[in-house]
Each structure stands twice: as C-alpha cells, then as structure tokens.
Structure 1
Amino acid sequence: MKRSKIILFFSSLILLSCTKKIDKDFISSNDIFNDITNLKKYDNVQKINADTLIKIKASNKEYIIEGYINKILNKKTGWWTIHDINKINKVRLQYIHFENEENINQYIFYKNNFIDSVRSKFYSLKKNGNILNYYFHTPKSKESVLSANLYYIILDENNNILKESKIENKINKSHYYLFTLETPIAKKVMIKSLFSETLNVNDKSLGTNEILTEDLVVL
C-alpha cells in the first residue's frame, strides 16, 4: 500500500462496533457503554486530579465505574472499568479520541475475573526478537466473516516510515486472528496499525469490527 493511501486510510478512519446481545446487563454496544459511563447517572462521584487527567470513581444502584477524563478535551480517555453492583461481571473499555469524539477501541468482558474472549474485542502483542505476533479477538457472531485485514506502519525513532503494508488473514473459527510482522533492524520502533474484520450483514455500520493499535517496541 502506498504511503499516501495508508495515511489517508488512517486519517479517515471511523471506528465501528458490532452490536450483539450477551446478557441482560451487558451489551457490546458503544451507545450502551457510553450510557453506563455517563457521570450524570451517578450520585456518588469521586474526582482526583492527576496532572493532565482527572481520576474518576463513581457508583449507583447498578454499577461501579472507574476511569480517567482528559482535562484539556474534557472527554473520557484510556482504560475504564465497569463492575455490576455485585461485582460478578466486569468490563474494561479503552477510550480513544478521533475527530474530537470519544470512541471505544477495545472492550474486554470478565466473568469471575476470567476473560470472556468470545464476547470481547481486544488485541495482544507477543515479541520474539524482531518477530511480532499480534492477536486480535472479536465477539462471536452468527454472521459469516467476509475479510480480516491488518494495515500497519512501522516508524523509527525519528518518525520515518521503515515499512508499511497490509496483511490478509484467513478466517479463524477460534474468534481470534494472528498476524505476524517482521520489523526492520532498529533499536526502537513504533508500530501503528488498523485491524478490520468485516461481517456479512446488510448494515455495514453493524458489520465491522475495528481496532487501532499503537505500540512502542524495543528490540
């Protein structure tokens, strides 16, 4: 992929998420998560200033939430945690900002402190020398998967592009995808990528799972 195309791709990115019911209390929808983390719904709200961030802890009759608000943008940022009031279910959400909007990039469901990867959308990275393995997990769906691709850029310490490419992945019935990258020889690299899974549904806004990554890797 040419540099201009991949830069345009990243700059025009809109994060979408499949809506799937998983139980009575937790639904993997951005609207539902944003409603639960709306501080106006909480009477007991604690705020602690921490440099450029405000640490939040709040509770009501249904949920306990914790996370951070960016002081400058006045928006939720980074990882937030939602517990049900009985602390049986837990969800961790990663908020990122795109076009001045809050977007949920990843969400991880827990049941009794164990990750429920079938319901979650997240990634992990494992390194072996200059070989990097990215694992992307997406929620289970009854719809078939049309494609799963990773678009990535590798930058050096001076922000020069060392490599940019696209990897297509075969469909994985285990609800995760493995992408293997080989990095150029450098002491330290920044890897920015977009993972995109497309499902076979009529409404494209409900048929795309996307995750943005940004990892500083020391080789």
Structure 2
Amino acid sequence: MDFENRIKKEMTEGIVKAILEDAGYRVIDSGIEKIIRELSCLSSFEYAKLAYPDAMSRLPDFTVMTKDQDDKFLVEVKYRSKWGKDLFEEIRPQVEIFGELILVSINADPPNHKGLYYPSTYLRCCRVRYRDETYSVQLKYEDDRVWRHYWKAVDELKEDSLWWAMSQLDKVFPLLTDRKLDAQNALDSAIKALSGILK
C-alpha cells in the first residue's frame, strides 16, 4: 500500500475507533495488517506473493463488542475521496466469507445538494450480508417522519441518493445514541482536522 493511502486508512480507522470506544464499545483490531504489522510495509506485489488464505487477507478491520461482551459487530472501514456503489462490489468476497459485516465509510466529497454541514454528512454506515446466495445491503427510508430499514440486493442498487440511504452511526451502534452529542463533536473535530488532507 502506498504511503498516502496508508495514512488515510490509519486516520479513517482511528476516527471510527475513537468514536466507538468513546461510546463504550470495545474495539479490537482484527484486520490482517494489524495482526501481522509487517505487512503494511509491503508493496501489493510483495503481499500477493505471500499468498495468505482468502479468509485471513479479508479479515474485517475491527471486531466491536459491547462492554458486557453480549453483542458483537464485524466492521470494515473504508475511506473514499470519490465514493460510489462499486465499493459494495469491492467488499463482496469479504461479505461472502463472513456472512454479515457493517461497512463504515468516510466520504471526502459527499453529495450535498442543500449545502448543509453536519459531521454525519461525511460518515455513513450500513449492514451488508450474504445469505441464500443473495448479496444485500440494509438501507433506510423515511415513512411518515420515521426512519425504517429494509434489505436490498446490491445488484439492484442505483448510484443516485445511495449515500444518503445509508445510516448514521448511532442507528447501527445503539450506544452512540446515549452519547450522540459527544460523538457528533468528536466527529466534527476529526473531520475539520482532516479536511485539508482528505481530498
């Protein structure tokens, strides 16, 4: 991985980890680059030559658990300067291995037609799963001023408004609801600090 992408990856994962830990979650680094640290210094060619098994190379970035360790989430974190639905195809083999993941994504240039600034404008998440030979994503829609979730096959996704159909973090990680203001302030500070280098 080249230096700039490595920095963006580390910073993106650091933001997500800090927000979740601050809300009371236990966040365990589980990605292969964290388990075998020396891999981060290798080129793509050198890494491929090592021929790690697919399940190892596709380990999710984090295993997130509640403090009581009675619930767990497998979390993959992705940063994109230009976000698109192709990201779902990129992680498809990983979802096929693990069955269900939560994708947390930072988008440096989200569609913002109303010109509003909220920290959650840049950070969204969704559940993705592979079940009964169907690869699908959990999206949200508003029904009579109430947000509801539904599963949609990734093959049927359309690019328009897909970013906004993904959830805010507190809708997937319930402990964030209790600390919503703190989480928003932390995310706001992180986005402002990184805004100069994210694009």
Same fold (TM over 0.5): no
TM-score range, shorter chain: 0.3 to 0.5
> Under a length normalisation based on structure 1, what TM-score does the superposition of the two structures give?
0.31
> Under a length normalisation based on structure 2, what TM-score does the superposition of the two structures give?
0.33
Which structure's CA Rg is the greater one?
1
More strand by share: 1
More helix by share: 2
